[in-house]
Amino acid sequence: MVEAQTWTTRRMSNPRLDSTEQVLDIPPTPPGELRNSFGSNGGSLSPTLVTALIIASWYLSNIGVLLLNKYLLSFYGYRFPIFLTMLHMLSCAAYSYASINFLEIVPLQNIHSKKQFLKILALSAIFCFSVVCGNTSLRYLPVSFNQAIGATTPFFTAIFAFIITCKKETAEVYLALLPVVFGIVVASNSEPLFHLFGFLVCVGSTAGRALKSVVQGILLTSEAEKLHSMNLLLYMAPLAALILLPFTLYIEGNVLALTIEKARGDPFILFLLIGNATVAYLVNLTNFLVTKHTSALTLQVLGNAKATVAAVVSVLIFRNPVTVMGMAGFGITIMGVVLYSEAKKRSKVTTH
């Protein structure tokens, strides 16, 4: 019969086997600082560097898709904003499926009811309207002015929240919205390349973006219906593409045949379209990654700064004329957005 082996463990020493006196060499646990240093010196990236790379990718993708859209629609002569938006939606659907089902970036969530599906369909329709209007505006307006108008999203969000949900903000929040609107009035009056139709569809895009955020907060509020942003994109993107299909065929004609014919003479168009559609998905992916590695508040702050960076980069690349009053109006709008964000934070603290 085998004799039972008993362990005797002494503090600050290795355990021993009584029957054989064999010493098991168990190294001591390294301190926390040393463990953390292994990751940075052993080939893996430090968390700070990873976060910095993700934020840089967020900026590159957000500004990149704007510049590519502007180049395709205004300078390259590809005048099919609805079809371009449909390509974006198809790209987002394909990449989202691969990211969730194969790369497992987030767990897959299923649609559980017809009611939930109809809610997502409604969001997809608003999403389509906003993106198509935004892309169309780039045919007529410089990116700098487009971004100035886009910065007024908080103004429309406050309006829709009041109209739809009767939600009232504090007086400080409403006062902070005044410079947001005033800045756009100043910028519009002094914009050398002002185009009325481009301005109206850009305002429509901004209003649509605000409406989507408000409606999404209403429709997908229950825990059973809440979807992760990446899963929501997975279901919204193909629905949006289906919604856009009849519009692109009716308004833009046989755009697919025209695109193929153009590609035969200039294959570079395929590179532009595929690259543009890929970057459109990366915008959504990096939005998720920035929020995951930082916070929603950080994403909001980055969004405020992004408009300014995009405007400056576009002016440097496309050389569109700007005026001192136009820059002043843009600055007033951005200042108003920052004040609005701070006022919202203070109102939430007061409420809680």
Radius of gyration of the chain (CA): 26
Q: Tell me the pLDDT band of 46, cut-offs 50, 70 and 90.
A: confident
Identify any residues that bridge with 16 across adjacent strands, giving them in sequence order: 8, 23
Q: Using alpha carbons, select from 218, 270, 212 the residue that is nearest to residue 236.
A: 212
What are the pLDDT digits (tens) for 311-334? Answer: 999 999 999 999 999 999 999 999
Query: In whole angstroms, what is the distance from residue 92 CA to residue 75 CA?
Result: 25
Comparing CA positions, the residue from 346, 349, 343, 352 lying closest to residue 172 is 343
CA dihedral for 202, 206, 212, 214, sign (positive or negative): negative
> What does the DSSP 8-state code read for residue 46?
P
Contacts of 71 (CB under 8 A, 6+ apart): 272
Q: Quote the pLDDT of residue 228.
A: 86
23: helix, strand or coil: strand
Ordered DSSP codes for 116-148: HHHHHHHHHHHHHHHHHHHHHHHHHS-HHHHHH
Instruction: Compute the Cα dihedral for 206, 208, 213, 217 and give only its sign.
Output: positive
Residue range 139-177, pLDDT digits in tens:
999 999 999 999 999 999 999 999 998 888 889 989 999
pLDDT at 53 over 60: yes
- Is residue 169 within 8 A of residue 341, CB to CB? The reply is no
DSSP letters spanning 266-288: -THHHHHHHHHHHHHHHHHHHHH
Are the CB atoms for 144 and 330 separated by under 8 Å? yes
Residue 35 has pLDDT above 50, yes or no: no
3-state secondary structure of 8: strand
For residues 246-251, give the mean pLDDT.
95
The pLDDT tens digits for 167-218 are 888 899 899 999 999 999 999 999 999 999 999 999 999 999 999 989 888 8
pLDDT tier, 47 (very low <50, low <70, confident <90, very high otherwise): confident
With bands split at pLDDT 50, 70 and 90, how would you rate the model's confidence at 122?
Answer: very high
Amino acid 345: pLDDT: 83
187 or 300: whose pLDDT is higher? 187
H helix or E strand, kind and range, residue 17: strand 16-17
- Over residues 35-62, the mean pLDDT reads 74
